[in-house]
A and B are shown apart, each in its own frame.
Chain A
């Protein structure tokens, strides 16, 4: 165990730094490496989130189904101008929503951990190293975060283009808007 963790860390370090060495000019290598790391973090995060969504599917369907059912009942009560029934159903929908949010927080953590781990590695790897354009006036996060945001946006566009089957994975009642909504 004494050497297992350090050796594992060094192996991961070798893997992550490889992309930074693909291009000869240092600034190009830094940009390519940072982009690869951002895209990789976003992809791994999405895969972890999707895997967790799959494991949670029955519990999610139950909680989000209850929220949707009570919400639709509240809308029916509104249509019937029955405010007490609307408030009652809305209250039950809100309770079920709280449980659904808690599950969603877990999926969000599954999506975010690779980015946090990548940031930790970047700060260790490039500690006290002058970076392109900014020198020592800023840390690696100033490059990583915007690239990570772009990677997430690109992956979501790709997922939408792949069509309904790709989007259907992990979708549950709460993702589908109820009938009055566009």
Chain B
């Protein structure tokens, strides 16, 4: 497709704008859910005499904008210092720190429809804050033509299906407690992975790779310069693309993979990202480099398309399902993330990467266990 650099972003914007055409329906869906909720001052009830809070619901938590901004600064600081866990902290903010989670959970028995609308809005807030930033930053790699088209199509289709399917199956159907439980499970798995990376076994792969790379670098310096590469072998050349095989050469070295694998990987990773509002872009590149063994720059560009497609699909599906969005809240949080990203590089030299990772492992274990217990077993740990 010619001029895809213009057609693609314009097309995606048009789709999002079309989805927002349905926006007046959001107020109807929320208003219907509020009307069905029992009135009163107890938890799980709507008190119409109280001032409007989150989503304009009377009596809903009113978040102090300074608290929201400060928490977002914390999220941005984590992003720029550790490079992971920012999305999880954003989710913790929405669910625990601002009190939206316990508010939504209170409607499980009294007004389940309202609880599900609030839960979907919390999911959307996570996604806008984390996923949109990742999608936009990935777009730069897409612009630089660093992609393998057959792989991008396979991954993009999988991402589209995963993101659409996750929202179609969960939007309007998932109560907050279940969402909290699954979020806690993801956080526990992330914490376990971070912990594994600090163990000798986890470190060994990186140490082996460093030794191999260093050894080759030393050897390469000793090799006389002037090696010539045949022109036909420079760059990427697709030699075969069928439903079961994608073969290409890069610098004359053959690579082969089954396109169904990135398709399925795209489905799973996008589904998780769309369902929870975290992950996605940060998981796709490691998946691509390990499955297809593509050079990192090509994997980054190829996954960018999948991230963008998955994110736009997820947002459009949520909007078309009538999920209300608090734009001022998201805008304030994005500003906080930007400020945190300012502060992060300045403070990183005062903190050890290893100790920061260990701190986040402890946090991940506490938050993960707490959300798992609260979501699936109804047992609350302090502060979670």
Contact = CB atoms under 8 A, between A and B. Distances in A.
Interface string A45-58: 00010011001101
Contacts of B138: 101, 104
Given A137-B21, A146-B13, A149-B13, A55 B137 contact: no
Contacts of A182: 145
Nearest to B211: A88
A137 to B, nearest CB: 6
Interface stretch (B45-53, B100-108, B173-181, B338-346): B338-346
Interface string A98-124: 110111111111111111111111011
A99 B83 contact: yes
A108 B140 CA distance: 11
Given A106-B340, A107-B341, A108-B133, A101 B281 contact: yes
A106 B80 contact: yes
A106 B331 contact: no
A70 B80 contact: no
A139 interface: yes
Contact of B337 (A82, A85, A109, A117): A109
Contacts of A148: 13
B24 A137 contact: yes
Contact of B80 (A56, A149, A177): A56
Interface residues of A, number: 78
Nearest to B128: A116
B109 interface: no
A82 B212 CA distance: 11
A56 B235 CA distance: 31
B220 interface: yes
Contact of B338 (A48, A91, A104): A48
A114 B328 CA distance: 10
A97 B293 contact: no
DSSP majority for the B interface? helix
Chain B interface size band reads 35 or more
Given A91-B209, A94-B289, A113-B334, A101 B137 contact: yes
A117 B328 contact: yes
A21 interface: no
B134 interface: yes
A142 B17 contact: yes
B57 to A, nearest CB: 16
A98 B327 contact: no
Given A105-B134, A108-B137, A136 B24 contact: yes
B42 interface: no
Contact of B83 (A52, A102, A116, A136): A102
B169 interface: no
Contacts of A119: 327, 331
Given A76-B220, A91-B209, A180-B235, A106 B300 contact: no
B213 interface: yes
A105 B86 contact: yes
Contacts of B344: 59, 106
B296 A90 contact: yes
A74 interface: yes
Interface of B: 6, 9-10, 13-14, 16-17, 20-21, 23-24, 65, 76, 79-80, 82-84, 86, 128-130, 132-138, 140, 144-146, 205-206, 208-213, 215-217, 220, 223, 227, 229, 234-235, 250-253, 281-282, 285-286, 289, 293, 295-297, 299-300, 326-332, 334-335, 337-338, 340-342, 344-346, 348
Given A88-B211, A91-B289, A116-B328, 4 more contacts: A82-B216, A85-B215, A112-B132, A116-B334
